Amino acid sequence: MCGIVGYLGVEDAREIIISGLKRLEYRGYDSAGIALRKCDSGTFHIYKDKGRVARLEEIADFSFKTCLGIGHTRWATHGVPNKVNSHPHQSEKSRFFIVHNGVIDNYKELKSEILNGNKFVSDTDSEVIAHIIEKYSDEMSVNEAIRKTMSLLEGSYALAIIDTYNRDKIYACKNKSPLLLGLSDKGTIISSDVMALVGYSTKYVPLKDKTFVEITKKGYKTLDIIGKEVEHEVKVIDVDYFNIEKGEYSHFMLKEISEQPSVIRTIISKYFDKEEVTLNGDISKAIKESDRLYIIAAGTSMNAGFIGKELFEKMAFIPTEVHIASEFAYNMPLLSKKPLFIFISQSGETADLRAVLVNIKAAGYRSLTITNVKTSTLAREADHYVEIHAGPEIAVASTKAYTAQIVVLAILAYGQSDKHINLRKELSKVAISIENIIDKREYIEALVQEYLTKRNCFYIGRGIDYYACLESSLKLKEISYIQTEGFAAGELKHGTIALIEEDTPVIAIISQRSIGKNTRSNLNEVQSRGAKTLVISTNSVHEHGDQIVLDDVYELFSPLLTIIPAQFIAYYAALQRGYDIDKPRNLAKSVTVE
């Protein structure tokens, strides 16, 4: 994971890098660092420490003008988060400074085979890269030394490199981890994501894998690994990217929960012409021609995938399987004859999904990515992509991307169905009903105070409600650190009910007529063992005493509603405990390591 920003130009490098890193903190935020060149003397200075990017503002010397630098915000993989393991790392004789995003799988072999005798100061895999570049730069040009190093690295990397002997240049290269160049007439920015370019450039160049870049004041040159010049397309940044302020909201998560009705309306405006769905015909064809859909995803996106399975199977009668990407990549099940792979990923960068995409492409299977970032790796590399149009999601806990993914899955499933509902009307109804829940959020806040008093909690439901429970529990645990499980209500009695004790909170989701009664029996079972129960139900199946009763919508769309109180429950539980809601511990928004 980690975020990288580098800059060379006439503006203040320190300001551009620090503000860019703040925007990239969603990629990791356990430590940060920056290397800067003083404009007048040309000397280099490194500032780094454990903690957020804001820490750099406390420790960096602001008394000199800077025109070149590289910076990093870290999500630790190798070595605990501390000052020594923070980037930038230096080569043995301190000639090179590097910042790295990715994982070098063969760093131990490289240490013993190529760098035997070198002294390392950190526990990271990254430091090795700086040492190898320095070793080869004794025998060849820097440009060649970096490309030779690239040829030895196994794994993923996006790198920004300073050579203190070449003070007017920055080098960069990448493989698998994202990296792009932001262009303006005042300089060039290197960044892991366009977010860091906000306010500085409107054009960018996404770099291809195994690309090496040399940046000077005059511009940039991109080469492949053998030194041949390669062309890269220049793109214009989508204005949506600039909509990334909290505004009146205290947290991005609260803002993003509240944006869900407008996200649904945006998706409707993008994919409907009056009452008709207007999706790319090739995508419908690919779905129609397949005999089974394989949804590949992780975390919240996988939970959206489970709802997608219900939609494809119940609306369009297409058999659908949902798989954990990290499992599927190394333990592929027997496939049907004509599978279509659907990758669901908010970021479009999740390494576990990419590992599957690479394998299934090599095997000749077709693929579709559903993502919020149309410029992402998974969007670029799949045969087709559909954008979910949720707008930038900044809070680490995903909310609006989840509902947007489900809406897009509904549109895809509907395209293959007998069109027995008016989809546009049903989705519009959902948007209004979500607004009704948002209006009642203070009531939910009070319920949280009353019910979520313990270290653990259960969400129970059946069928599609069970899938909604999986996402509800993930939300609660990831930001409030309450140990929460989403359980198939009927399964609880087969062992896990042993954990229920006096006042254990159990939240039931009941939106389906056919199975509501069964879930209520399971609620009685836990109540008789002391559980403190809270019910989220829909109007037509509600019973007296249910604490949160939602509007009725088309049955298969109920997860779009039941998740909203669950998102608020998570939000308020974290708020009441005083936690950092937008940046929960140990997590990062874009998981670019396997």
CA 228 centroid distance within chain: 33
The residue at minimum Cβ distance from ligand F6R is 299
Output the CA angle 577-579-580, nearest 5 degrees: 160
Spell out the residues 6+ positions from residue 409 whose beta carbon is closer than 8 angstroms to its own.
304, 305, 307, 308, 311, 312, 344, 370
Residue 430: exposure state from Cβ atoms within 10 A (0-12, 13-18, ≥19): buried
Beta carbon of residue 534, minimum distance to ligand F6R (angstroms, whole number): 22
Beta carbon of residue 207, minimum distance to ligand F6R (angstroms, whole number): 20
* Residue 151: C-alpha distances to residues 210, 293, 359, 417 (Å): 9, 37, 22, 49
Q: Write out the two tokens for 277.
A: 């769905």
Smaller CB distance to ligand F6R: residue 129 or 388? 388
What is the three-class DSSP state of 165? Answer: coil
Q: Write out the two tokens for 592.
A: 């670019």
Beta carbon of residue 70, minimum distance to ligand F6R (angstroms, whole number): 25
Residue 444, phi then psi, degrees to nearest 5: -65, -40
478 binds ligand F6R (CB under 6 A): yes
**With CB under 6 A as the contact rule, which of the stretches 11-19, 92-100, 263-271, 293-301 interacts with ligand F6R?**
293-301
573 binds ligand F6R (CB under 6 A): no
193 binds ligand F6R (CB under 6 A): no
**With CB under 6 A as the contact rule, which of the stretches 23-31, 57-65, 292-300, 384-392 interacts with ligand F6R?**
292-300
Smaller CB distance to ligand F6R: residue 71 or 299? 299
* Residue 379: C-alpha distances to residues 204, 327, 347, 348, 354 (Å): 17, 21, 10, 6, 10
Candidate residues 299, 505, 516, 565; the one interacting with ligand F6R per rule CB under 6 A = 299
Place of tokens 């650190």: 481
Beta carbon of residue 15, minimum distance to ligand F6R (angstroms, whole number): 29
Q: Interface residues for ligand F6R in 327-356 (CB under 6 A)?
A: 345-347, 350
Beta carbon of residue 347, minimum distance to ligand F6R (angstroms, whole number): 3
- Tell me what percent of the chain is helix, strand and coil, each rounded to the nearest 5: 40, 25, 35
398 binds ligand F6R (CB under 6 A): yes
Contact (CB, 8 A) for 327 and 373: no
Q: Which of 2, 173, 457, 469 is catalytic?
A: 2
Kindly state the DSSP code that residue 335 receives in the 8-state scheme. P
**Per-residue DSSP letters for 250-276?**
SSHHHHHHHTHHHHHHHHHHHHEETTE
Beta carbon of residue 410, minimum distance to ligand F6R (angstroms, whole number): 18
Q: Which of 176, 255, 309, 589 is catalytic?
A: 589
Say how far apart CA 360 and CA 593 lie, in whole Å: 19
150 binds ligand F6R (CB under 6 A): no
Smaller CB distance to ligand F6R: residue 299 or 461? 299
169 is catalytic: no
Smaller CB distance to ligand F6R: residue 298 or 410? 298
591 binds ligand F6R (CB under 6 A): yes
Smaller CB distance to ligand F6R: residue 88 or 348? 348
473 binds ligand F6R (CB under 6 A): no
Beta carbon of residue 471, minimum distance to ligand F6R (angstroms, whole number): 8
Smaller CB distance to ligand F6R: residue 149 or 371? 371
Q: Write out the two tokens for 492.
A: 């609880």
What is the three-class DSSP state of 196? Answer: helix
Beta carbon of residue 57, minimum distance to ligand F6R (angstroms, whole number): 28
472 binds ligand F6R (CB under 6 A): no
Question: Count of residues binding ligand F6R (CB under 6 A)?
Answer: 13
Contact (CB, 8 A) for 543 and 213: no
Beta carbon of residue 262, minimum distance to ligand F6R (angstroms, whole number): 20
397 binds ligand F6R (CB under 6 A): yes
Number of C-alpha atoms within 13 angstroms, CB side, residue 484?
Answer: 30
457 is catalytic: no
Cα dihedral sign, 337-319-420-260: negative
Smaller CB distance to ligand F6R: residue 298 or 507? 298
| 160 torsion bin: left (phi>0), alpha (psi -120 to 50), beta (else) | beta
> Is beta strand 456-461 parallel, antiparallel or unpaired with respect to 483-488?
parallel
Give the x-and-dash track for 421-460 against ligand F6R (CB under 6 A).
----------------------------------------
Give bridge partners of residue 182 from the DSSP assignment. Answer: 189, 204
377 binds ligand F6R (CB under 6 A): no
Contact (CB, 8 A) for 390 and 404: yes
Active site residues: 2, 589
Residues that bind ligand F6R (CB under 6 A): 298-301, 345-347, 350, 397-398, 474, 478, 591
